[in-house]
């Protein structure tokens, strides 16, 4: 039975690597995979999904008004789709997440959506994530460690002095050097850890 899967984590936990490995496995077994990503994240070029360890693949870039259900339905009518993979689902619109649910229920195609659950201010990242949390059939956390060794569940944004940033824009594309994944106590304390402090410029 097709399901809507939400695979989530904090930053730098290997979500994209996991997604690209799943894509490879489906293709290796003869599957027809549709991979989507958001136009918001164009660090590696429009329509590119790339992991920190160098794996990459072409993807269909989504704009805010794109009807992903219609895109998948049109492709499925000519070339049956085995699975739909979504990178950076937190940047999608809430209605697009509802369309993902329709792809599962109406077209009977499994959807695996990868993204960040929380933003740097300790709330659900976006309306899209709130809808995903409400509609998903299956949840899988991709785990990451805090600098203290505990499980990281939060994302801490910090400035050039290593001080926690508690207001302003949530998203700073390309600003990976200003984010660190930490446990909840260190998120509240604003402690970025020794490794991140060594990289301060």
Name the residues annotated as catalytic: 88
Angle at 15 between CA 135 and CA 165, to 5 degrees: 90
Angle at 122 between CA 120 and CA 127, to 5 degrees: 90
Contact 35, 71 (CB under 8 A): no
């Amino acid at each position: 039975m097709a399901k809507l899967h939400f695979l989530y984590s904090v930053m730098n936990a290997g979500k994209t690597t996991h997604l690209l490995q799943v894509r490879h496995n489906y293709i290796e077994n003869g599957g027809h995979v549709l991979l989507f990503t958001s136009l918001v994240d164009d660090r590696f070029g429009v329509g590119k999904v790339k992991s920190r360890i160098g794996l990459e693949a072409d993807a269909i870039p989504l704009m805010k008004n794109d009807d992903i259900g219609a895109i998948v339905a049109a492709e499925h009518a000519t070339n049956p789709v085995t699975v739909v993979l979504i990178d950076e689902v937190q940047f999608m619109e809430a209605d697009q997440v509802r369309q993902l649910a329709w792809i599962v229920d109406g077209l009977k195609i499994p959807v695996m959506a990868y993204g960040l659950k929380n933003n740097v201010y300790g709330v659900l990242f976006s309306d899209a994530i709130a809808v995903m949390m409400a509609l998903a059939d299956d949840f899988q956390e991709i785990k990451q460690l805090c600098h203290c060794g505990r499980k990281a569940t939060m994302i801490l944004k910090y400035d050039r002095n290593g001080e926690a940033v508690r207001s302003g824009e949530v998203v700073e594309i390309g600003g990976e050097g200003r984010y660190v994944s930490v446990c909840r106590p260190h998120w509240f304390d604003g402690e970025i850890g020794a490794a991140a402090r060594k990289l301060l410029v």
